[in-house]
Every structure is written in structure tokens, then in C-alpha cells.
Amino acid sequence: MMEKMFEVQDPVNHDTQTLQVNIGPQHPSTHGVFRMNVVLDGETVVSLKPVMGYLHRNHEQIAENISYTASMPYTDRLDYFNSMSNNFAWALAVEKLANLDVPERAQYIRVIMAELTRLVNHVSVIGFLLNDLGAFFTPVLYAFREREKILDIFEEVSGARMMCNFLRFGGIKRDLPAGTLERIKEVIQNFPKFLDEFETLLTKNEILCMRCQNVGVLPAELAVNASITGPMLRASGVNYDVRKADKYSIYDRFDFKIPLGQTGDVYDRYYCRVLEMRESLKILQQALRDIPVTGEIISKKMAPFVKAPRNFKPPVGEAYGRVEAPKGELGFYVVSDGTPQPWRYHVRAPSLINLTILEDLCIGHKVADAIVILGSIDIVLGEVDH
Amino acid sequence: MAFSKNQSEVDEGLKGELAKKGVVVTTINQLYNWGRQSSIWPMQFGLACCAIEMIATACARYDIARFGAELFRPSPRQSDLMIVAGTVTKKMAPQVVRLYNQMAEPKYVITMGACSIAGGPFIDGYNVLRGIDRYIPIDVHLPGCPPRPEALLYGLMELQKKIQSQEIETTEWYQKGMKREYPVPDFGPHGLVPKFNPEVWQPRELDHRKDKYGEPILIGRKTKAPDLDAPLATPPVAQPPKPQTA
């Protein structure tokens, strides 16, 4: 299918040589330590081999040797932009395994935190995408200005800016401090103004349109076959969102839409993320309206384990918990053998699976477009290599 | 660590009098170091989570430009300071050492975060290097997981103090026969070869880890997989620990 769309000229028939270029591991636009082994014919990409593993931190091996609760801070460091979503997925997996219920107020707080995380992630990703396009650092300044406001809320709630470690099995670590909900409301009220400003600068920008439209087109069929998830899949026009498909936690109570793209190019991926932020704001407004004023924050079954987490032994069995993380479907598969440590612990990392499609998207494009396509896939190397 | 500050021998009162007339008296060392410390160019080089905090430090709220270190250079040839921001794995360590070798003199290194200091939370992993100071000399260690942007600014100020204490006559990079390139380790089948650079780092004679934190908790290797198809012996509910009866 890709050969028909782009005529890849056979370099043998010309008097030219192909050139092999290593992009990375130290490169400003590979989003961390990631290497692309690119073969170029002139400026056109002929083949591209991603080389990973520069940040392999033995996440799964470590998690199989420590208690279930002790894995929670390690999940923060998987995708370090959105630690709350990662905590959410791991908590859901163990709750399924141990058959725990979550109190009402804790459910709402979880959803609020997960959606705030989505705002943080998407706004930063758009900033970095523009960075790759050549608008060096100015959009990132706008993006990080808003990010800091949300990180202030995370710090107030959990004590840490990035590595929150906030969720617990069957609830959350501690209740919200007084006045936090008002501050969250304030941030949400001001966020659409920022988004409008951001869109005025970017969405109809001619340079952005020319560089992004019809670049790195991902057909829907290929996306489904490669099990791409998240905004990348929805930009190709496939209506799949774990929040709607699985309805985990309390997502069935909220009224929100799933923005879909048409062509599946870089521009659609950018615009899908902008629209998703607007939908997240809707969810946040509804959650803040409906949240119970008081209530328990951790289930009664888990209360004895708050002070003694090493005594927590789920029954023998297996479970898979998944959430719609900002990057895609993040899942944790866990097998318990009745001891305090899991027998098997596996992460379905959306960044890693979305990255597998990179070569198909880049072939036939110029090398400058390959950088933009990589930026639009939205990888975080902590999650790719885990 | 306290650094001896370069002191001018000119009387402070005389300096003040001269300054009123528009004459500045200083030493060449102070002038030289003032220029160097207020235009540190860091390398744009992120490894893991701490890199995001490094970017946040460069952005509007924390604004590392106030300290003259906002110009992040993508090339090691143009940069003065390497901020090792994140976990250094055994696959990445040779590249970090190579980048250090490529930097031009004078060069400084800040380790940002627990991982690059000593392995951090991933110290038990098989693929994580327990501190980049095994291969290259470090000027400032910056603990935290990740350190806040304020902490990075504090680390930068400490580095500026160190720069201020150096003198032209005795600096390393004007001496003959100076060598500040270190051998790049190989990523072999059983980890890095050699395990550390003895010029830079020596293993400690005493292991204080046991005294401070006690014996490590040994789980033992699990060999028997759980039988998931077997009927459940225990009810599928987590059991709280039994209350102890006195």
C-alpha cells in the first residue's frame, strides 16, 4: 500500500549512492535517547531502523521482586509526563486481581487527576512537535507556562511535581487539601483562553499546514493491524477509545465526545490532541460538579494494608487493567502466585507499540519530515524501553 | 564544599573611591571568571525524567537565563557544561563518556538526579550503571528524583562558585600535558568493560550500606509458576492480617 502512495526510486538505477546516517542517541529532536538508523537517497528516506534500549531500566524485573504497592512509584517513571495515568492503570489491574471496590470520592479524584494529566501531556507534546518543526522553543514556553499551573495542583495534592505516586489500591493516598478544588476550577476556567491563544498562533499557521498536511499518512487499516492506539489511531479515523470501549472507573457517567481525524497525517494528529484537550475540560467540569463533598478515600478492605503494604497478598490469579493514557492504551498484566510479589508483571506500553509503525510512515519522505513524524507519534523513552 | 574565593588585594575603600570617578579596579582572574561563570553553555542532552525538569528550568517560570546558562547547545563541541539528566544505562554509558571527551576545555559536569549519581531507584537493575562518576569526574552532584528546577538553579550557582575560585595560572587546561579524556568503556556481553575507571573512581573499602540500611530483603528465586486453572483454594478476596492476640 505504501509503495503506491510514494514512488520509492530504486537507487541502483541512478549514478548516486545511498548514505547511512545515524540520528541519535544524543540528538535534540529524538525526545530522549533513541537512535534512528536511516538510509538516505539524497534527502529521501529509503529505510529507517529504530534502535532502542538506551533507557532500559529493568522495570518489569524490579517489579517482580518487590511488593505490589512498591511498584507504584516505579510506574511513575514509565511515562514521566503523566504519572497519574500510569498509577491509575496499575491500581486498576490490582483491584481487578484482588477484587477491590473504590469509594465514590476517590473515583472522582482519580478521574480529575487523570484528565489533568492528559492536559499536561498534550500541551507539552504539541510544544515539542513545533520544536521539531523549527519553531525553536517559543511554543514550548507557552506550553510549559500552562503545565506549571497544573503541576502546582499535583504538588499540592501529592507532594511531588512530576512523580506523584498518589493512587493506592482501592483508593488514593490522601484526601485533597482544603481549597484545591477551587484552584482546579480556576485552572480549568482559564485553560480554554490559553487554548484559543495557542490555536490562533498555530492551527491555521501556513508553515504548520504546509509541513504537516499529507505528511506521514497512516491509513486506518494499517493502524488497526499494527495495534496503534490513542490519538494516533483516532487521527486515522478509527473510533476507539478505552474510556468509551471499556468504561472503566466512572467514565460511563460523563458526557464527552471522541474527536476523530480524516486523513491520518501529522496535522490530524496535532488537531486531534487539541480537540481532546477540549473534551477533557468537559469531563473535568462535570467531575468537579458531581464530586461528593466528603467521603472515604480508600476502601475498607485495603485499610489494614495502608501501614503494612508488604502484607498485601492477592489471591492466585491473573488480571489485566487498562486505561486510556494520553499516549494510548496503557495496560498492566499481572499474575499473582499468592505471595507479596507478583509472579509476572507486564506492561503494555503504548509508546513502544506506536513506534513500531515509524518506518512505514517515514519511507519516501524527506529526512526533515521523518523528525516531524517522530514528534507526532509522541514517544517517551522511559515507556518505550521500560 | 567550600571554595576559596579569589580575593583582590586592593583596599575596598579605595575601590569605592575609584568607582565614583568611573574607574574599576579588578584582577584579571576575577574578570576572566566573571565572564566564564555568567555564560555557561549547557549541552542539550536529556536522558530520562530529569530532562523534563531541565527543560522546565529553561522555561519561563524558572528561567535559567537569569544565570546566563540559557543557551542549550546540541553539539558537545560548543558546550561548557554537561548536565547528566537521567538514568545512565550500561548501553548509554559509552556514549556519555564519548560526549564528555568531545567537549572542549574548560568543561564541567553536573549529575542531576539520584539515578546518575548512584543508580537511584533502579540501582537493583541489571542494566543500570551505578553512578556516572565511575567513568568521568563530576563537579556538582544534585540529589532528587527528579530534583526540582530550583535545585538545578542551586547546583548551577554552586558551579559558579567553583568557577570563581579557579585561577588562570593554576588551571588544569592551561598546563602542559593535560589529559582530560577518559577511555570509553565497551558494552560487552556481561556489562561494561572495564567496570570503572581507576583514575576517577575507586571502590570503597567499607560498605556502609549494610550499617545504615540493614540486611537486604532476600526474596529468593521463585521457580514454580502459579496454576491459574486450578480451583481457587482461597476466596477471591484479599485477607487482612490477623490481629495479634496478647
Q: Give the model confidence (pLDDT) of A169-202 as tens digits.
A: 988 988 899 899 999 999 999 999 999 998 898 8
Nearest to B238 among A163, A301, A335 (CB): A301
B42 DSSP 8-state letter: B
Contact A236, A223 (CB under 8 A): yes
Q: Read out DSSP for A18-60?
A: EEEEEE-SS-TTSSSS-EEEEEEETTEEEEEEEE--TT---HH
**Beta-strand pair B191-193/B186-188:** antiparallel
Judge whether A333 is closer than 8 Å to chain B, CB to CB.
no
Q: What is the sign of the dihedral through the CA atoms of A356, A264, A9 and A16?
A: negative
Instruction: Give pLDDT, residue A66.
Output: 86
Phi/psi at A139 (5° precision): -65, -30
Segment A86-110 mean pLDDT: 91
pLDDT classification of B246: cutoffs 50, 70, 90? low
Least confident interval from A6-15, A343-352, B48-57, B163-172 = A6-15
pLDDT classification of A1: cutoffs 50, 70, 90? very low
The residue type of B73 is: R
Domains observed in chain B: 40-174 (3.40.50.12280)
Instruction: Give pLDDT, residue B217.
Output: 60
CA B160, chain centre distance (Å): 15
Contact A25, A35 (CB under 8 A): yes
Of A353, A360, A350, the closest CA to residue A322 belongs to A350
Kindly determine whether residue B228 and residue A318, on different chains, have CB atoms separated by under 8 Å. yes
Contact A175, A297 (CB under 8 A): yes
**For testing the chain B interface, which of A22, A23, A26 should be mutated: the one with the most B CBs within 10 Å?**
A26
Of A230, A315, A372, A15, the closest CA to residue B236 belongs to A315
**For testing the chain A interface, which of B52, B192, B223 should be mutated: the one with the most A CBs within 10 Å?**
B52
Beta-carbon contacts of B188 under 8 Å, excluding residues fewer than 6 positions away, are none
Kindly determine whether residue B226 and residue A336, on different chains, have CB atoms separated by under 8 Å. yes
Instruction: Give pLDDT, residue B208.
Output: 73
Query: What pairs with residue A21 in β-bridges?
Result: A38
Instruction: Give pLDDT, residue B223.
Output: 74
Q: Flag whether pLDDT at A290 surpasses 80.
A: yes
Kindly determine whether residue B55 and residue A140, on different chains, have CB atoms separated by under 8 Å. yes
Judge whether B187 is closer than 8 Å to chain A, CB to CB.
no
| Angle (CA) A190 A193 A198, round 5° | 125
Count Cβ atoms below 10 Å from residue B205 Cβ, excluding itself: 5
Tell me how close the Cα of A80 comes to any Cα of chain B, in angstroms.
6
Of B114, B116, B119, B113, the closest CA to residue B97 belongs to B116
CA distance A297 to A314: 20
3-state secondary structure of A348: strand
CA distance A185 to A64: 40
Rounded to two decimals, the ipTM of the complex is 0.87
Nearest to B91 among A54, A80, A308 (CB): A54
The kind and range of the H/E element at A207 are helix A206-212
Instruction: Give pLDDT, residue A65.
Output: 85
Q: Flag whether pLDDT at A379 surpasses 90.
A: no
Instruction: Give pLDDT, residue A2.
Output: 42
The most distant pair of C-alpha atoms in chain B lies apart, rounded to whole Å, by 94
pLDDT classification of B147: cutoffs 50, 70, 90? very high
Burial of B179 from C-beta contacts in 10 A (0-12 / 13-18 / 19+): exposed
Instruction: Give pLDDT, residue B241.
Output: 64
Count Cβ atoms below 10 Å from residue B71 Cβ, excluding itself: 16
Set of chain B residues whose Cβ sits within 8 Å of the Cβ of A320:
none
What are the pLDDT digits (tens) for B68-116? 888 888 888 999 999 998 899 998 899 999 999 999 888 999 999 998 9
Judge whether B126 is closer than 8 Å to chain A, CB to CB.
yes
Q: Flag whether pLDDT at B233 surpasses 80.
A: no
Count Cβ atoms below 10 Å from residue A1 Cβ, excluding itself: 8
Tell me how close the Cα of A385 comes to any Cα of chain B, in angstroms.
11
